[in-house]
A and B are shown apart, each in its own frame.
Chain A
Amino acid sequence: DGGITQSPKYLFRKEGQNVTLSCEQNLNHDAMYWYRQDPGQGLRLIYYSQIVNDFQKGDIAEGYSVSREKKESFPLTVTSAQKNPTAFYLCASSIEFRLDRANTQYFGPGTRLTVL
């Protein structure tokens, strides 16, 4: 089955620790995205990548880092510099460069990160 997988589903971290969230897709999509979701707020874009070895900051990139070494994978590292990391993290992907129309994003199941 084609889709997006995120692991782990739940993650607990102590303050001061870095942690990496996994996102893998087998849809052969060019672009991948990381969002953060907090109660009562819309999804906010952290980082996105249109092609391998390239990525751009979203609206709330401070305290996060990413890499895109393979088309299928876009891991997100939440660093100790992120002041309020407890949230639900969502990865998405889309076929990119349909310049004539919008590109639909498809989401993974999410990772819930809790900082203890």
Chain B
Amino acid sequence: EDQVTQSPEALRLQEGESSSLNCSYTVSGLRGLFWYRQDPGKGPEFLFTLYSAGEEKEKERLKATLTKKESFLHITAPKPEDSATYLCAVQAWQGETSGSRLTFGEGTQLTVNP
């Protein structure tokens, strides 16, 4: 069974204080790892897809990295508008009838204070 664990559950940062969010996963065969951002009362917004260990992707102040066991979302010099819940999900290689289903972690709630 695929499993995703995110830590910490909640993180408070001061504006400009860089940090990292962790996503540990267990999957039979990783097809892809996804990061989403979710604002309160809204649907998740896609950020990154990582396909294989060693891969890195960046977008503005965010950088996602991937190893064989975990992924990190690094936030450099965050701003208050980066406050949101960040969700990690994995997609495993499965039979054709399983499609592209995702297994999600519970998320990390990030608050950036001005």
> Which residues does A use to contact B, with CB under 8 Å?
4, 6, 31, 33, 40-45, 48, 50, 56, 58, 88, 90, 94, 96, 101-110, 112
Kindly identify, within residues 56 to 114 of chain B, every residue whose CB is under 8 Å from any CB belonging to chain A.
87, 89, 91, 97-107
Nearest opposing residue in chain B for A99, CB measure: B96
A-B contact pairs, 11 of them (CB 8 A): A4-B43, A31-B99, A43-B44, A44-B104, A45-B101, A94-B100, A101-B31, A102-B91, A104-B34, A106-B46, A110-B42
Contact B46 A110 (CB under 8 A): no
Contact B102 A105 (CB under 8 A): yes
Out of A4, A40, A102, A103, which one reaches B106, CB within 8 Å? A40
> Which residues does B use to contact A, with CB under 8 Å?
4, 31-32, 34, 36, 41-46, 49, 51, 87, 89, 91, 97-107
- B4 to chain A minimum Cβ distance, whole angstroms, is 7
Out of A4, A56, A108, which one reaches B99, CB within 8 Å? A56
Out of A4, A33, A107, A112, which one reaches B101, CB within 8 Å? A33
Given contacts A56-B97, A103-B99, 20 further A-B contacts (CB under 8 A): A31-B99, A42-B4, A42-B107, A43-B87, A43-B104, A48-B101, A56-B98, A90-B44, A102-B49, A103-B32, A103-B100, A104-B32, A104-B46, A104-B49, A105-B34, A107-B46, A108-B43, A110-B41, A110-B42, A110-B43
Contact A42 B105 (CB under 8 A): yes
Nearest opposing residue in chain B for A88, CB measure: B41
Q: Complex Cα distance A77/B106, Å?
A: 25
Contact A101 B32 (CB under 8 A): yes
Taking CB atoms, residues of chain B closer than 8 Å to A101 are 31-32, 51
Q: Complex Cα distance A42/B85, Å?
A: 11
Q: Complex Cα distance A80/B106, Å?
A: 27
